Amino acid sequence: MRAAESIDVLEHTQAGHLLTAGGRCIGVQAHDFTTQATLFITARATALATGGVGGLYRVTTNPPVITGDGLALAYRAGARLADIEFVQFHPTALAAPGFPKFLLSEALRGDGARLRNARGEAFMKSYHPLGDLAPRDEVARAVTSEMKAAQQPFVYLDLAPIGKQRLEERFPAIVRACREHGFDVPDSPVPVCPAAHYTMGGIDVDLDCRTSLPGLYAVGECSCVSVHGANRLASNSLLEGIVFGPRCAAAMTREQQPAEADCREVISAGFRLVDVGSGFYHDLLDIMWDNMGVVRSDATLRGAIQFLAHTSAKVGPSTVPTRYGIEQANGLLLGKLMAAAALNRWESRGAHYRLDCEETSDQLRQHTIAYRGDDGAPVIEFRPVELQRTRFEH
Ligand SMILES: Cc1cc2nc3c(=O)[nH]c(=O)nc-3n(C[C@H](O)[C@H](O)[C@H](O)COP(=O)(O)OP(=O)(O)OC[C@H]3O[C@@H](n4cnc5c(N)ncnc54)[C@H](O)[C@@H]3O)c2cc1C
């Protein structure tokens, strides 16, 4: 990217607000944290590629900057979000201190590694016929259940069945990470726990990555082009990027330049970036993990909404924008929307699992759509799923 003359990379600069005029997006307002300058960047097309929401969870494999900024910006500007209750939890993150958690790939279990509980029992067969090779959501729930039964924050991954030589040859990075954390693999089992990993939902887009707000595009994990349904299969997000990245770019080139007068007007009006100070970040991560995590229920979701509403009411805008302040404002908004969407989905489906409603409902084979209503309040509704087979000619 740096080598491309047509691309300017702005380091330490955070997009905080989408510029809109006449019902379309005409650019972005950003804050440069090196110079403390506010930047107004107008464009004929704007694409959000800000990643998912994994960083809003206390236990995550995602870098801490992946806090759903793009979803919050799009929602505030009037674009629709889709399926935001579907967050994938990877079942086997290394349960060692640190943020984010190091990921212990499924390939280990594919090669024979076994999950064991606190009593040393290989438990997966009692949860699913595929045992350790069951889908991610099934394994994450089984691990959560064993952790709860033993009242300990991890189970164990036993790498011994792979054999020392094969383990070192096939998984050198994993072996190094485990040993750096003091686990002498494969002789010692490794403590593992589920961690927020991938956001299936996101900004609602069509097959050219167009959002519902003209001029605004979204691509990658922040978007919901809906190829992952309720439960993404491992490795499909890179495939998604390869397919939809070029389609997004091609569609953007067909947009018209915004009128100069509109740009001048929007820039002169300016906008105070939404920033709520940084005092409660850990509470936010905790409530997302505890109440909106691997398993949910009416009570946990209502608890999350109540907590987040209470916190939103307590905090006011801060005078100087900070990265954490902006991320927290976005996190508060998204947490409330995600919990409301999860509460509205009165069933269990894919990665959305409700203890008070474990069945999958045929009637709810629908997308969740969330948007800002005319009165500013969130609207959460369902839209029928339309399956289509598409062949792209690149
Ligand atoms: C540990 C791990 C292993 C994975 N392994 C695989 C795999 O094997 N195969 C696979 O297909 N997928 C894998 N994934 C998922 C895949 O990596 C992600 O889905 C993918 O990287 C998302 O790419 P993205 O470009 O959409 O977003 P990201 O790569 O998350 O990038 C988002 C960027 O936006 C920036 N940003 C965020 N907010 C703002 C803002 N407000 N202003 C400016 N910039 C902002 C961030 O700093 C970041 O640079 C893995 C994910 C993790 C965490």
* Domain end call among 160, 195, 230: 195
Same domain flag for 216 and 358? yes
Q: Whose CA is nearest to atom 16 of ligand 1?
A: 237
Looking at the structure, do residues 53 and 93 belong to the same domain, yes or no? no
| DSSP one-letter code for 103 | B
Ligand 1 atom closest to the Cα of residue 62 is: 53
Q: Which of 174, 195, 216 is where one domain is finished? A: 195
Q: Give me the residue label for tokens 């009692």.
A: 126
Q: Which of 195, 220, 242 is the last residue of a domain?
A: 195
What is the pLDDT at residue 278? 61
CATH code for the domain in which residue 95 is found: 3.90.700.10
ipTM, two decimals: 0.98
Number of domains in the chain: 2
DSSP of 332-390, one letter per residue? HHHHHHHHHHHHH--S-BTTB-BTTB-SPPGGG-EEEEEEE-TTSSEEEEEEE------
pLDDT in tens, 186-217: 999 999 999 999 999 999 999 999 999 999 99
Same domain, yes or no: 256 and 329: yes
User: Which residue ranges in the chain fall short of pLDDT 50?
Assistant: none
51 and 99 in a single domain? The answer is no
Nearest alpha carbon to residue 186 among 132, 239, 113 = 113
Distance 221 CA to ligand 1 centre (A): 7
Q: Give the whole-angstrom CA distance, residue 306 versus residue 289.
A: 15
Strand, coil or helix: what is 161? helix
Q: Which atom of ligand 1 is nearest to the CA of 102?
A: 1
Q: How far apart are CA 328 and CA 56, in angstroms?
A: 9
130 lines ligand 1 (CB under 6 A): no
Same domain? For 37 and 139 the reply is no
Q: 329 and 250 in one domain?
A: yes
- Active site (catalytic) residues: 136
CA dist 146 and 41 (Å) reads 50
Residue-wise pLDDT tens digits, 118-175 = 999 999 999 999 999 999 999 999 999 999 999 999 999 999 999 999 999 999 999 9
The atom of ligand 1 lying closest to the CA of 52 is: 30
pLDDT at 274: 66
For the Cβ of 41 lying below 6 angstroms from any atom of ligand 1, the answer is no
In a domain, 371, yes or no: yes
| φ, ψ for residue 111, nearest 5 deg | -95, 5
Residues 82 and 93 both lie in one domain: no
Cα 306 from Cα 171, distance rounded (Å):
44
| Whether 268 and 360 share a structural domain | yes
Pocket test for ligand 1, best of 46, 50, 73, 89 (most atoms within 8 A of CB): 50
Looking up tokens 């090669």, which residue turns up? 111
Is residue 93 located within the same domain as residue 80?
Answer: no
7 found inside a domain: no
Whether 256 and 284 map to the same domain: the answer is: yes
Q: Quick one: pLDDT at residue 272?
A: 66
- Tell me how far the alpha carbon of residue 3 lies from the centroid of ligand 1, in angstroms: 21
Claim to verify: residue 75 and residue 213 sit in the same structural domain: yes
The residue with tokens 């509470």 is 283
pLDDT at 98: 83
* Radius of gyration (C-alpha) of the chain in whole angstroms: 22
> Is residue 175 domain-shared with residue 310, that is, in the same domain?
no
- Which residue range is the domain that position 143 belongs to? 89-195
Q: How far apart are CA 19 and CA 39, in angstroms?
A: 11
Best of 28, 48, 65 to mutate for ligand 1, by most ligand atoms within 8 A of CB? Answer: 65
